[in-house]
Amino acid sequence: MEYISEATFGPTTSGSASKKGTALPLSPAAVGAISAAADFIAIIAASVVSGTAYHHMFIGGYGNTSVFLGAGLIIALAFVTSFHASKGYDIQNIRARRNVVLHILALWGASFALLTILVFLMKLGHTLSRGHVLTFFAFGGGVILTVHHSVRLMFSRSLRQHAPKGPRAVLIADMSSIGNSHTMSSLQRRGYNFDGIFELPKLSDDARFDERRGELEKIRAHVRNSDIEEVMILADWDQLGKISPLLDALRVIPLPVRLVADHRYGDLLSRPMAKIGGTVAVEIHRAPLNRLERTMKRVLDLALASAGLIALLPLFLMVAIAIKLDSPGPVFFRQSRVGFSGRVFRIYKFRSMTTMDDGTVVKQAVKGDNRVTRIGKFLRASSIDELPQLLNVLNGDMSLVGPRPHALAHDTMYDEIIHDYAFRHHMKPGITGWAQVSGFRGETPTVDLMERRVEYDLAYINNWTLMFDIKIIFLTALRSLKQGAY
């Protein structure tokens, strides 16, 4: 077994004197915890300040501090929990600049949506002032953005000069695998410092392995004389049965010994597992939502769809008049779509085209399509044409968030050419979805684009949470004027 290097592989920490002003080196967990704590405290403080200021300026007095603290606590718990769940406090995301503001604002809005739902369900509208909520939303949003910017600046120099502190390890590797960029970059992102790298013996030559067993003493000596925390093995998983002598030899070392997942099986191992008797089953596809999850999603749908229809009634009337004046034909467009469990339902939209395709052949709208009416261009670009689907939500055929339903002709075609396409029907179709807010909205002229949309749909289904739905709703509102259909 050949000793390759004692030099640190990947990210290293410097022992030399740093330049003046360098921040204290902190672990990634410490930086994330500080950021989360700063958010939590700032949100509660923003609630108290905004509530007190609003009452003092517009009502008189200083309001009920307990109510302000309670509202701030709910928002703080919702925001910090969801931001943590979306890996916002991971060290690489704290350093990032792209899409951070949009991500923060989406979760900020989602947290207030949750507060609104709780106030409605618990009938606390008389306790919590709408003025305070609006002031808190605006002021707190600015505060939370400022806090995140300050945290990034505070730790930027330390993060530039010091990689995240991770375990110091010895790596025993099949050198043909060490070049696997995916595996090694994953280890680097976790801050692993390889204090020694040893070549794995040829696994197919057992006799040679026995002859070279003494080479393991190099590892033992290295471990005893170094501050090593664990031993890692990087090998071809097709040859795992042949490394048992190596594992037996490592038993004398009182440290964790880890086998790095082969990149071919990493996704499989990240899925939920269940022990069944003496074996283990891996969850390949998530089942439809359980009863509690369906109830939570349905309550959100009914609450927001009902409120939306009432609030948007004047807009509905104006759009209906504009459609009738613009071109002959009905106000609403109805078309058969495939929904939950493959059931067919009739979807409602404001008519935006001169034709009403609903058969075995349905042509997708494209840029510059002459079938789109004048008012239809505006309706499609602003997504107002989708609003009548709130009726589908109330009827139970659709949800506010889910995979977008397709016409029967398109559904049949994609089911034949895209693997796992049918899995989209494990969730009710939605007015908006994770694919749409991620940039896959409108025309899908190629199979590749449709495959990417399906990929995002499946990711949504497999990772569903109520906060995920609320986040998507707010991202839809923020991006509706930036992304257009034709």
How much is the average pLDDT of 164-188? Answer: 68
Cβ neighbours of 113 (radius 10 Å) = 20
Q: Is the dihedral of CA 78, 83, 84, 89 positive or negative?
A: negative
Residue closest to 106 by CA, chosen among 128, 88, 133, 124:
88
pLDDT of residue 59: 86
Greater pLDDT, 21 or 433: 433
* Owner of token pair 């004046």: 325
The yes-or-no verdict on residue 270 having pLDDT over 90 is: no
**Interval 36-46 mean pLDDT:** 95
In this model, does residue 368 exceed pLDDT 80?
A: no
Write down the pLDDT at residue 2: 46
pLDDT of 210 reads 54
Higher pLDDT pick, 370 / 178: 370
CATH architecture of the domain formed by 3-11+165-282: 3-Layer(aba) Sandwich (3.40)
Question: Which percentage of the chain shows pLDDT scores above 90?
Answer: 27
Q: What's the average model confidence in pLDDT over 427-438? A: 93
pLDDT of residue 362: 57
Letter string b/e over residues 213-233, b meaning 16 or more CB atoms within 10 A of that residue's CB: eebbeebeebbeeeebbbbbb
**pLDDT over 80 at 397, yes or no:** yes
For 241-245, 293-297, 337-341, which range has the lowest pLDDT when averaged over its residues?
241-245
pLDDT at 402 over 60: yes
Highest-pLDDT range among 269-278, 322-331, 361-370: 322-331
Share of the chain above pLDDT 70, in %: 79
Mean pLDDT of the chain: 80
> What's the whole-number mean pLDDT along residues 69-92?
88
Confidence of residue 484 (pLDDT cuts 50, 70, 90): very low
Residue that wins the pLDDT comparison between 294 and 100: 294
Contacts of 36-40 with C-beta under 8 Å, sequence gap 24+, read 36/80, 36/83, 36/84, 36/89, 38/147, 38/150, 38/151, 39/76, 39/79, 39/80, 39/83, 39/144, 39/147, 39/148, 40/76, 40/80
Residues of the chain with CATH 3.40.50: 3-11+165-282
CA dihedral 387, 388, 391, 397 (to 10 degrees): -80
Going by pLDDT thresholds of 50, 70 and 90, the confidence category of residue 140 is: very high
Of 243 and 357, the structure prediction assigns the larger pLDDT to 243
pLDDT at 401 over 60: yes
Model confidence at 194: pLDDT above 50: yes
Q: What is the pLDDT of residue 291?
A: 86
Q: What is the pLDDT of residues 101-111, one digit of tens each?
A: 888 888 898 88
Helix-strand-coil percent breakdown of the chain, rounded to 5? 55, 10, 35
